Amino acid sequence: MTTVEMGIPTVRSSVSLSGRPDVAHLVDRFGRVARDLRVSITEKCSLRCTYCMPEEGLPTIPAERLLNPGEIVRLVELAVTRLGVREVRFTGGEPLMRADLERIIAGCAEKVPGTPLAMTTNAVGLEHRVRRLADAGLSRINVSLDTVDRGHFASLTRRDRLPSVLAGIRAAVAIGMAPVKINAVLMPETLSGAADLLQWCLDEGVELRFIEQMPLDADHEWARENMVPADRLLSVLGKHFELEELGRDDRVAPAELWRVNGGPATVGIIASVTRSFCADCDRTRLTAEGTIRSCLFSDSEVDLRGAMRSGADDEQLAQLWRGAMWNKWVGNGIDTVDFAPPARSMGAIGG
């Protein structure tokens, strides 16, 4: 086995396939099948959310180590056509930081027509690009927005960009992008504004989902006793709204849903820490440097970029990918005594 030290996690260029059944898709030792691909395309970001990035941003990835548009399109195509991936989501860092985002999306849309192409974004500057992105083939959008209080937003993200984010969300709704979903990470400092955020989302016709904060911040300051659990959020929202528990949309959807004030609007909660859904996880991740990561919390990665640039054909790349997923951990281990946060933060993996 070759290991390459990149100053980040252990990167392997060969993987163990012992015991793996001879199937085309991305199955693991516990019977899970990965069908949802997250593609990080950059480490750069226009915000510095405290639960994700260090104040100075992530170390720059040299251009030659980043996947180029042709490489991204090739890997997305083989994931869909050979490995059974059914949805592709671009993330980062902030995907809008890449000037060639429209080209990447258009290239994927051409190669995998009919496969939903989604993006998770902070929406800074989205207003000016959403039409071109939709024309390129982007079909769904999730925007991260934790508060509609400008002061709280500025201190949480270390940037005073709330007006641009709200304009981006409204522009996405205005061009008919559907659904537009909002992701909000639950933090103690924004909990008091959770009801205002939900009311704003109801008024704007966008779906809100709260996410429990995971130990994936670059500063390694996460502490279980400081995080806001789903139950606490529900008791806060319950004082302002009538909530009816609906459960999950489908088995692999991490959000549990509540009908708000008799419906039709719902609010979701992704209780990644207190109600971990690892047993149903269907994700596979491609980092901006072209490594496969089977779990957010496992630092072991398999290098497809190196293999690709050394001349590997599509089936060889697919086999490396299958091997990476076969070795996926059973769970994130957050509750175990020897849990240690991964070397990469959320922004460096791709959320």
Q: Which does 268 bind (CB under 5 to 8 A by kind): ligand SF4, ligand SAM, none?
A: none
Q: Which is nearer to ligand SF4, 11 or 349 (CB)?
A: 349
Q: What are the residues whose beta carbons fall under 8 Å from the beta carbon of 243, sequence distance 6 or more?
A: 234, 237, 258, 259, 260, 267
Mask 118-157, x = binds ligand SAM (CB under 6 A)? --xxx---------------------x-------------
Helix residue spans in 147-282 (DSSP H): 150-157, 162-174, 194-204, 230-238
Q: Which is nearer to ligand SF4, 35 or 89 (CB)?
A: 89
Q: Closest distance between ligand SF4 and the C-beta of residue 147, in Å?
A: 13
Q: What are the residues whose beta carbons fall under 8 Å from the beta carbon of 97, sequence distance 6 or more?
A: 42, 44, 45, 46
Do 290 and 75 meet the contact criterion of CB atoms below 8 Å apart?
yes
H helix or E strand, kind and range, residue 82: helix 69-83
For ligand SF4, the binding residues in 87-126 under the rule CB under 6 A are: 92-94, 122
Q: Closest distance between ligand SF4 and the C-beta of residue 179, in Å?
A: 20
- Residue 282 CA to residue 10 CA, distance in Å, equals 23
Mask 141-160, x = binds ligand SF4 (CB under 6 A)? ---x----------------
For ligand SAM, the binding residues in 48-77 under the rule CB under 6 A are: 51-52
Q: Closest distance between ligand SF4 and the C-beta of residue 55, in Å?
A: 10
Mask 174-193, x = binds ligand SAM (CB under 6 A)? ---------x-x--------
Q: Closest distance between ligand SAM and the C-beta of residue 146, in Å?
A: 7
Q: Which does 287 bind (CB under 5 to 8 A by kind): ligand SF4, ligand SAM, none?
A: none
For ligand SAM, the binding residues in 27-46 under the rule CB under 6 A are: 45
- Residue 184 CA to residue 164 CA, distance in Å, equals 17
Dihedral angle of Cα 156, 276, 37, 138, to the nearest 10 degrees: -50
Q: Which is nearer to ligand SF4, 39 or 45 (CB)?
A: 45
- Residue 41 CA to residue 67 CA, distance in Å, equals 7
Sign (positive/negative) of CA torsion 144, 149, 153, 159? positive
DSSP 8-state secondary structure symbol assigned to residue 248: E
155 residue type, one letter: S
SS (H, E, C) 185-196: EECHHHHHHHHH
> Half-sphere exposure of residue 50, counting CA atoms within 13 Å on the CB side?
14
Residue 215 interacts with ligand SF4 (CB under 6 A): yes or no: no
Mask 48-87, x = binds ligand SF4 (CB under 6 A)? xx--xx----------------------------------
Q: Which residues bind ligand SF4 (CB under 6 A)?
A: 45, 47-49, 52-53, 92-94, 122, 144, 347
Footprint of ligand SAM on this chain (CB under 6 A)?
45, 51-52, 91-92, 94, 120-122, 144, 183, 185, 211, 213-214, 216-217, 346-347, 351
